[in-house]
Amino acid sequence: MLNNKIAALFTTFVLLGTGTNALAANLLVNGSFEQSTCGAGCILDTPAKANAITGWTTFLSGAEYFNMPNAIGGSVAADGVMIVDLANYVYGNGGGIQQNFATTVGAKYRVTFSAGNSRFASRSGDGIIQMKVAGQTATFNTPTAKGVAVEWATLTYDFTATTPQTTLAFSNEQNPYANFAFIDDVIVERL
């Protein structure tokens, strides 16, 4: 009986180790934004805070970083508790974050991320997320929120690496007083 259990356990490990996409490792650091030097939240709009989210760098006017359940009552993050809002309300010229990661030229990869929105603070409930990766640009609509509670959608994008180091960038250039552009749970996997 014990030998049957050991054999079944061994078979499970062998099957898990076959390299299926469901078990592929995230090539990004801190894809759910849980690690940061700014605690429960901050505006990442200065050079001193450009690298405050571990693994990520801000550009344009930076981004907002905060604890979703604490900031918008009745809402949750897509993964963990921290999220990024690309529609930085401090400046009107857009906000963004990016990360570099190792890739193999010619290999195919998939970006998966959660996009969210809310009607909190009289926002419209919709927004746009721009993504750049491997020389390609894609635009995604966030889900249209019906109320204050944040609504999330999982989005994907496939690309082929053209260099051994690839930059993944997310941005928003909408009016930050009219729109949110929340992102969370960013994953890059090799296909």
**What confidence score (pLDDT) does residue 49 get?**
87
Full-model pTM: 0.86
CB-based contacts of 179, cutoff 8 Å, min separation 6: 87, 117, 123, 124, 126, 127, 128, 172
Report the run of H or E that residue 111 belongs to, with start and end. Answer: strand 108-117
**What confidence score (pLDDT) does residue 10 get?**
41
Task: Report the SS3 class of residue 75.
Answer: coil
**What confidence score (pLDDT) does residue 45 get?**
78
- Say if residue 89 is exposed, middle or buried (CB neighbours under 10 Å; 0-12, 13-18, 19+): middle
**pLDDT < 70 positions in the chain:** 1-23
**What confidence score (pLDDT) does residue 23 get?**
58
**What confidence score (pLDDT) does residue 148 get?**
97
Q: What is the mean pLDDT of the chain?
A: 88
**What confidence score (pLDDT) does residue 2 get?**
46
Domains observed in the chain: 21-190 (2.60.120.260)
**What confidence score (pLDDT) does residue 16 get?**
41
- DSSP secondary structure letter of residue 125: S
